[in-house]
Amino acid sequence: MTPAAAIKAPTGAEQTDEQATEQAVGQTSEHLTEQAVEPVGGQAEQGAEHVSAQAAERGAAQVSGFDAEKGTLGGEQKGVWEQVALALFIGIPFLALVAAVPIAWGGFLGWHDVVLGVVFYTISGHGISIGFHRYFTHKSFKPNRPMKYALAIAGSLAIEGPVVRWVADHRKHHKFSDRDGDPHSPWKYGTSLKALTKGFLHAHIGWLFDSEQTPARQYAPDLLKDRDVVRVSKLFPALVLFSLLAPAIIGGLWSWSIEGALTAFFWASLVRIALLHHVTWSINSICHTIGARPFKSRDKSGNVWWLAILSQGESWHNLHHSDPTCARHGVLRGQLDTSARCIWLFERWGWVSDVRWPVKERLEARRVRAADV
Ligand SMILES: [Zn+2]
Ligand SMILES: [Zn+2]
């Protein structure tokens, strides 16, 4: 039995369902951190990583031979020009948006729009992070049926594609993270400034235009078998309409004016969706380029603190790749993770169960130590 299956060994009648899910999820999350699965790529490097990942699983005492640079890719330095290019790509569009706020304030932007924008951002953003990502992709907990529906619907409101497609893409990302086959790696074209700039844009947004789709039958068979999930997936076009129009309708009724509907549509629908898209894509681009790497993972995933609030805790991405099924990503002191906090509340209220909270020994085994560097 694999380590992941051993931890989650089910009992009784649930076993069949559990095992089916385990096959789909485990294959694409934990196991893949520990197995050399790539059909292509540097075989010598693969071997080294395979050994490294297994050593990490066995615990700190046996990690002495670990090759930190290949195993975590955490010890590399980034050139000044790379940093400057990154800052420009990230900073300028965001500053333009921020600059628009005071210009519009009191005219084309008011408190109603801010409240609606924050509420819809919070619901759709957590639908992605708690629902699409931590539950549907990685099965970090078990929701009851109404909760499962709520998570699938809330995530769909982010307009990042139907749940089944989102999950298939993300599982493939974990399977090949930063290697050939990863749908969105910033390292796809190489490590020079030019290659990284091209790769960064590809990881951020370009990959969405790839005509080749991740086969759902291969990567999300558990979801295709779940009628509830398929139902919500089919409702996606209607949910897109709802996500676009609900803020406008509420804004119009709230201010009892056409202008109120228009401003709410602009800020709480269009700007809110654009911002959430960029934050989600930033996990693929920024969090696979820069950030702290306190945990061992075989890719270039990093923890980026300044994205933590906007990304609902998803930017603690290095821990996530190191321990993919863990329900909490911000596991270290002071690492804000609102998604984990919500899951904790849902568990207290009895809406979710079997939450895979961080296990101290597992985290310890995955920590990068001074001896590894
Ligand atoms: Zn990732
Ligand atoms: Zn993930």
Q: Return the ligand number nearest the Cα of 298.
A: 1
Q: Which residues contact 117 (CB under 8 A, 6 or more apart)?
A: 247, 267, 268, 271, 272
Q: Return the ligand number nearest the Cα of 167.
A: 2
For residue 99, the CA-to-ligand 1 centroid distance in Å is 31
Kindly report which listed range (35-39, 79-83, 333-337, 341-345) carries the lowest average pLDDT score: 35-39
Question: DSSP letters of 248-304?
Answer: HHHHHHHHTSHHHHHHHIIIIIIIHHHHHHHHHHHHHHGGGTSSB--B--SS---B-
Query: What is the average pLDDT across 276-296?
Result: 93
For residue 323, the CA-to-ligand 2 centroid distance in Å is 9
For residue 87, the CA-to-ligand 1 centroid distance in Å is 20
- Band (pLDDT 50/70/90 cuts) for residue 213 is confident
205 in Cβ contact with 281 (< 8 Å): yes
Question: DSSP letters of 73-94?
Answer: --S----HHHHHHHHHHHHHHH
Structure tokens given for 163: 């749940």
Model pTM?
0.76
For residue 285, the CA-to-ligand 1 centroid distance in Å is 9
For residue 173, the CA-to-ligand 1 centroid distance in Å is 7
Compare 10 and 347 and report the one with higher pLDDT: 347
In one-letter notation, the amino acid at residue 47 is G
| C-alpha pair distances (Å), 141 with each of 47, 54, 253, 350, 354 | 32, 25, 38, 12, 5
Compare 46 and 297 and report the one with higher pLDDT: 297
Rounded to whole angstroms, the Cα distance separating 136 from 139 reads 6
Kindly list the domain boundaries of the chain, sorted by start residue: 3-372
What are phi and psi for residue 105, nearest 5 degrees? -60, 135
Rounded to whole angstroms, the Cα distance separating 372 from 67 reads 7
For residue 59, the CA-to-ligand 2 centroid distance in Å is 23
Compare 223 and 95 and report the one with higher pLDDT: 223
Q: Return the ligand number nearest the Cα of 185.
A: 1
Compare 55 and 25 and report the one with higher pLDDT: 25
For residue 28, the CA-to-ligand 2 centroid distance in Å is 9
| C-alpha pair distances (Å), 293 with each of 26, 298, 302, 305, 325 | 23, 11, 5, 12, 18
Rounded to whole angstroms, the Cα distance separating 342 from 350 reads 12
pLDDT, tens digit, for every residue of 73-121? Answer: 223 445 667 667 656 766 676 777 777 888 778 788 899 999 999 999 9
For residue 111, the CA-to-ligand 1 centroid distance in Å is 35
Burial class (CB in 10 A: 0-12, 13-18, 19+), 131: buried
For residue 337, the CA-to-ligand 2 centroid distance in Å is 15
Burial class (CB in 10 A: 0-12, 13-18, 19+), 220: buried
| DSSP SS3 for 226 | coil
pLDDT, tens digit, for every residue of 150-165? Answer: 999 999 999 999 999 9
- Indicate the angle between helix axes 145-156 and 236-255, nearest 10 degrees: 80
Rounded to whole angstroms, the Cα distance separating 329 from 337 reads 7
Q: Which of 103, 115, 169 is nearest to 137 (CA)?
A: 169
pLDDT of residue 96: 73
Query: What is the average pLDDT across 182-197?
Result: 90
For residue 105, the CA-to-ligand 2 centroid distance in Å is 38
Q: Return the ligand number nearest the Cα of 281.
A: 1
For residue 9, the CA-to-ligand 1 centroid distance in Å is 26
Is the pLDDT at 306 greater than 70? The verdict is yes
Compare 28 and 314 and report the one with higher pLDDT: 314
**Longest CA span, the chain:** 68
Is the pLDDT at 174 greater than 90? The verdict is yes
Q: Return the ligand number nearest the Cα of 170.
A: 2
For residue 171, the CA-to-ligand 1 centroid distance in Å is 10
Is the pLDDT at 49 greater than 60? The verdict is no
Rounded to whole angstroms, the Cα distance separating 352 from 195 reads 44
Is the pLDDT at 13 greater than 50? The verdict is no
pLDDT of residue 280: 95
Is the pLDDT at 12 greater than 90? The verdict is no
Q: Return the ligand number nearest the Cα of 283.
A: 1
For residue 245, the CA-to-ligand 2 centroid distance in Å is 30
